[in-house]
Amino acid sequence: MASALTSGWKGSRSPARPDHLALKILFWGTPAYAVPSLDALVAAGHELVGVVTQPDRRRGRGKDLLPSPVKARALELGLPVITPELIRREPELQARLGALGADVFVVVAFGQILPPEVLAQPPLGCWNAHGSLLPRWRGAGPIQWCLLQGDSSTGVGIMAMEEGLDTGPVLLERSISIGLLENAQQLGQRLSQLSAELLVEALPRIEAAGTGPEAERLARLGVRAQGEVGLSYARMLSKDDLVVDWNQSALEIHRRVMGLYPGAVTQWQGKRLKLLASEPLVARLASQLSPEARCLLAEPGVLSAAAAPGTVLALAADAGLVVGTAGCPLLVRAAQLEGKSPAQGQSLLQQLGCKPGDRLCHLSRV
């Protein structure tokens, strides 16, 4: 598919804030995660000379050809949109981007690796808002992996981009704590807002440092070079990662449900059952659980029930179903049975028609 440039835009600039000059920015981003950053840069008075995003893709049940969330928002704002299929293989488009005269490139979850020819274009550099505290969770899925691994905190770093995968020095970073019952979508929303805030904060510093050789610019900014301590990679997730293994502990399964939201799956009576919300019934975590889950912890026999992993141990009308694991039980609060709408609490129990002693099975094929 050839790259596309939405034409007809003559350029516009919002009123600049008095505390800094408006920069000419080429914005790179694709998912909904990047939209708050795009909005924040416009609201801060910067001039968006273009928005680069992934091409339209077929999505949803009808497989309709749909624009990325960033493209949709950019068109609403009247901004020119560029949709390269693979930017590193399109030298003519690279040249056109360079001719836009951007002072700085800002990248938020674009989804492609920028080649050296592109990274070298803007005089104030290329800057990325990355959703982790680098060097932990370099790569494309930091939000999912921090939840899968049970991290207690994460954050956002504003990083100078270089050829390596998320290896550049960090200008600004801010951390936030992660709640036990927070899923990937909820955490992503918080991090996307934080990314927007930090970008607006970082750009006046980047502008004040001026142009010149990259090493000198970065030295003036006082960036933090990444070390090797705590280095980890957020590898690409596969369909196999979505399958719940009831032979794991309740906490491990819960992390999978929340970290891969809304994709973790098991099997109920031959149908796929997508798990949407859960709570590990672990006594030491009681203070972080919901009131309903704490009540279940107080019921005699809930924690001591002996049954094969995946067995339904109890039904709680106001909470969901309690399922056995390799350790403590797991409370399944919300789920979606194949061909049905998402359900929770009593509605979920009625939809499944389950009873104590029934089994949720390992899904053999995703």
Domains of the chain: 4-234 (3.40.50.170), 239-352 (3.10.25.10)
The predicted-structure confidence for 153-210, as pLDDT tens digits, reads as follows: 999 999 999 999 999 999 999 999 999 999 999 999 999 999 999 999 999 999 999 9
The pLDDT tens digits for 67-106 are 999 999 999 999 999 999 999 999 999 999 999 999 999 9
Kindly report the pTM of this predicted structure. 0.91
Nearest to 276 by CA among 196, 366, 183: 183
Which has the higher per-residue pLDDT, 39 or 227?
Answer: 39
Question: Is residue 61 scored above 90 in pLDDT?
Answer: no
Q: Please, which residues bridge with residue 13 across strands?
A: none
pLDDT reading at 251 higher than 70:
yes
Specify the 3-state DSSP secondary structure of 213: coil
Partners of 314 in the beta sheet?
322
Q: Residues near 366 by Cβ (< 8 Å), separated by ≥ 6?
A: 239, 240, 242, 243, 265
Q: Give, rounded to a whole angstrom, the gap between the first and last alpha carbons of the chain.
A: 30
Task: pLDDT band for 20, please (50, 70, 90 cuts).
Answer: low
What Cα–Cα distance (Å) separates residue 239 from each residue in 60, 159, 197, 363?
A: 17, 30, 34, 11
Question: 330-337 and 271-280: which strand pairing?
Answer: antiparallel
SS3 192: helix
Q: Which residue is associated with the tokens 């999505």?
A: 59
Cα-based distances in Å from 113 to 88, 103, 161, 357: 8, 20, 10, 50
Q: Which residue has the tokens 């000198």?
A: 216
Q: Which residues pair with 322 in a beta bridge?
A: 314, 331
Give the dihedral sign, CA 248/254/255/261. Answer: positive
Q: Is the pLDDT of residue 276 over 70?
A: yes
Give Cβ neighbours of residue 36 (< 8 Å, ≥ 6 apart): 192, 193, 195, 196
| Per-residue confidence (pLDDT) for residue 193, from 0 to 100 | 98
Question: What confidence tier does 44 reach under pLDDT thresholds 50, 70, 90?
Answer: very high
Residue 365 has pLDDT above 80, yes or no: no
DSSP string, 71-128: HHHHHHTT--EEE-S-GGG-HHHHHHHHTT--SEEEEES-SSPPPHHHHTSSTT-EEE
Burial class (CB in 10 A: 0-12, 13-18, 19+), 74: buried
Mean pLDDT of 19-44: 93
Q: In terms of residues, how long is the chain?
A: 366
Lowest mean pLDDT among 17-26, 191-200, 217-226, 230-239: 17-26
- Quick one: which of 364, 331, 335, 365 has its CA closest to 352? 335
Return the closest-CA partner of residue 315 out of 303, 327, 302, 298.
Answer: 302
Closest alpha carbon to 158 in 123, 117, 115, 107: 107
pLDDT at position 273 over 50: yes
CA geometry: angle 102, 107, 113, nearest 5 deg: 105
Which backbone phi and psi does 58 adopt, to 5 degrees? Answer: -85, 125
- Average per-residue pLDDT in the chain? 92
Q: What is the pLDDT of residue 366?
A: 53
DSSP assigned state of 27: E
